[in-house]
Homo-oligomer: A and B are copies of this chain.
Amino acid sequence: MRSPIGEPPLVLSRHAVRVGYVDTDKAGVVHHSTYLSYLEAARIAHQRARGLSYHDFEVETGLALPVVEAHLRYRSPARFDDELIVESWVEEVTRAKVVYAQRVMREDEVLVEGKVVLACVDMQKGQIVSIPPRIAATCRKP
């Protein structure tokens, strides 16, 4: 069970999440599907911190960046009311894809590691298209 991601860079984005009651399941821990929502919120915050409003991007361009791959490794469970930090960085930007590496942390402990691949899609045509240069540049910012 290797990590799906490499070591984080020195500069990365940190997004805080407080675990809600609704996020837990009968095992008393955060349900494994919930982390995908935490990672999504952290990516949107990552982009916002670099000057890109994902909301405006969708409205203005008619494009979207849906998730086309997700690789998650669950190492230790988060619990109700935990204060988590989601660390995010961009591993790679290709012509039509952005590869995010993300880690859900509780203090110094890595709870979940994820690699999430987004593809740039024309919402009307449903086709993968090139990422606009301005967006690609934003994603590449450390």
Contact = CB atoms under 8 A, between A and B. Distances in A.
Interface of A: 1, 18, 20-22, 24-29, 31-34, 36-37, 40-41, 44, 53-55, 64, 66-75, 77, 79-81, 117, 123
Contacts of A54: 21, 81
26 contacts: A1-B68, A21-B26, A21-B31, A21-B40, A21-B44, A21-B54, A22-B25, A22-B31, A22-B33, A22-B36, A22-B37, A25-B25, A25-B26, A26-B28, A26-B29, A26-B79, A26-B80, A27-B66, A29-B66, A32-B66, A33-B34, A33-B40, A54-B81, A68-B75, A69-B72, A70-B70
- Stoichiometry, copies per complex: 4
Nearest to A68: B74
A69 B74 CA distance: 6
Contacts of A25: 21-22, 24-26
Nearest to A74: B68
